[in-house]
Amino acid sequence: MTEPNDPLSLQKRYGAGNYDPLPVTLVRGEGAYVWDDRGRRYLDMMSAYSALSHGHRHPRLLAALNDQLGRITLTSRAFDNDRLGPFLARACTLTGMDKALPMNTGVEAVETALKAARKWAYRHKGIPPDRAEIIACQGNFHGRTIAVLGLSSEESYRRGFGPFPAGMETIPYGDAGALEQAITPATAAFLVEPIQGEGGIIVPPEGYLRACADICRRHRVLLLADEIQTGLGRTGRLLAVEHEEVHPDGLMLGKALGGGLLPVSLFLARRELMDVFAPGDHGSTFGGNPLAAAVGLAALDVLVEEDLSTRAARLGAEFLARLRTLAPPLVHEIRGRGLFVGIELAPGPVSAREVCLALLKEGILAKDTHENVIRLAPPLIVAEDDLLRAADTVSRVLVRVATVVHSSHARTG
């Protein structure tokens, strides 16, 4: 028998089964829209987990990519290149950080931050060797490496992958008092997402980040902000910590930093923290490559020059207001900030994935998380009319699903 050779059959035959994607095959993208292999158009309300904040194939980013492709793409850090310096300088100037260390993926930036925090703790805080502790929050998502999974409270992420490194502790999210109680003389750092994305778009109480920053300062504990999803304009400010005027000791950026074209990430920090690294302490073959640096610099320039943060704040407020006006009883809560929105369904027979499948039929791409939350995070360049039409469509689908469920219960009751 001849083996099927269509793309999806080949993927299923030869790919690992670690994803369960929605049933659509995307082949083209432009701006806030994508097209499937049958020519149908969809509004992308997912943005590849915020990696496509600039939209698909932004012309300025493509130009930067193509220009650099014609020059040089990779040198490794064994040699200098002329693109990395301007990229790092732009990132540090925008964020108010002293130095930056380039990596590729978001979790690499997190791992880099944890390494820096532990070495800082031994060198500057006097914590005994191999005793430094990291605190994170329950419900977090900082990535899927073995070390970072040691900070996860999600059993499905951890199951079968232990044992995990020691020195990792989690506390309730949004509770500054829990942080105060958890800190010990061996605590090196507190790692936190300003808004928990994978956890269900969980927005902490007003003043939480500011209180945590004060606690960390009093106890000489590093505050590390994971802004891989929330950073670069997504919540209506360049960084989500800016909503509370917090300046962390260390900062992680990724996803949108690569403009949806390349994996690009940064760990940025104040000088004392970053200076723990000496030659040979840390590295990456592709981290800081000239192609990634050129695209990353262009991504930052576009973000600022097109004022995408302000745009996200304005459109996000309109989008949330529209959704809240039209939400049916099926919805327990609608929350978010900027263009980072979660719709939590009330407990019952309808799952968020079922709603996302219904939205797919209406030409909207969205993704579920934690079974009962629909997350919506469109490109920051999305047109206002498209966004408000999407809100109407989401509300209409929720009403329809709720009606079907109610009718089903009535027939079987």
- Give the residue numbers marked as catalytic: 141, 226, 255
SS3 367: strand
User: Coil, helix or strand for 331?
Assistant: strand
Longest dimension (CA), the chain: 72
Which structure tokens are listed for 321? Answer: 């207001």
Alpha helices, DSSP H only, in 282-378? 290-305, 308-326, 352-361
Q: How many beta carbons lie within 10 A of that of residue 73, not counting itself?
A: 15
Quick one: how many helices (H) and strands (E) in the chain? Answer: 14, 15
**What does the alpha-carbon distance between residue 388 and residue 386 come to, in Å, rounded to a whole number?**
6
Q: What dihedral do alpha carbons 24, 27, 30, 31 form, nearest 10°?
A: 40
- What's the CA gap between 278 and 342, in Å, rounded? 42
Please report, in angstroms and rounded to a whole number, the separation of the first and last CA atoms in the chain: 50
Q: Read out DSSP for 139-186?
A: T-----SHHHHTT---HHHHTTS----SSEEEE-TT-HHHHHHH--TT
Secondary structure letter of residue 241 according to DSSP: G
Q: What does the alpha-carbon distance between residue 265 and residue 101 come to, in Å, rounded to a whole number?
A: 9
Q: How far apart are CA 209 and CA 175, in angstroms?
A: 10
Residues 292, 76 contacting (CB under 8 angstroms): no
Round to whole Å and give the CA distance between 223 and 324: 34
Comparing CA positions, the residue from 258, 229, 230, 262 lying closest to residue 244 is: 230
DSSP helix/strand/coil, 169: strand
Chain centre to alpha carbon of residue 142: 9
